[in-house]
Structure 1
Amino acid sequence: MTDAPASEGLEWTAQRGMGALAQKMGMRFTEFTVERCVATMPVEGNTQPVGLLHGGAYVVLGESLGSMAANLHAGPGRLAVGVDINATHTRSATSGIVTGVCTPIHLGRSMTVHEIVVSDDQGRRCSTVRITNMIKAMP
């Protein structure tokens, strides 16, 4: 499925599901191909006690995008599982919606690396997440 058009990628995510945590956090996938995946998430409901978007929420958005993108790349009969993730938070979102844009750094046969840039409503980068996934045969 590595060369699927955007509409097929969104259909694939709808069939597969995004997972209970992503749904609970209000994520919505808006674009989904091997080369670029985009999702939004509301700040409200995902904040820490002082009203800032929780740092872990940035990571959940990044991991959701990166893992789903790696699985789209992996194709049928194979499974991508996260083996490393890191995030650098450079700005705090306090309201509105954040948008994560996921692009591949490396798309291999057994490993992928993706960068996810999370920006606020004004387009300002708030967090940069990097995830590495290992690809293996489905159990």
Structure 2
Amino acid sequence: MITRLNHVSVFVLDQDSAYDFYVNKLGFAVHTDAAMGPGMRWLTVCPPEQPELEISLMAITEGMMFKAGSAAQMRALVSAGTFGFGVFECNDLLATYEELKAKGVEFTKEPTREFYGFEALFKDDSGNWFSLGEKKG
């Protein structure tokens, strides 16, 4: 029986830029940053209060996972904001929204009360979008 998820991948256009975004703007911790052979890198980050969940920042490059044509297609899809990868939580949405905006995070939806909760939407530096919600008390 499956008991938990410990890794999830987010496809990124550039791992160095993604490192800067996730670590310096979102405040995530680097879990692993290791060379995996010529031109390959295993880079995972974690939300500070959830170190058991590693988010693998996967470069979209030709090779084992993508052929030349599919790599180009995937880069175009990510750049276009096609993928919404998840929902992050915070304790105070308004304060976190202001903090992240001040760091240059692009929000596509300001904090809004919806029937399901209080949320804002933002994009990472590659074009992936996420929901940011306030943790229910």
Q: What TM-score results when the alignment is normalised by the length of structure 2? A: 0.32
Output the TM-score relative to the length of structure 1: 0.31
Greater radius of gyration (CA) = 2
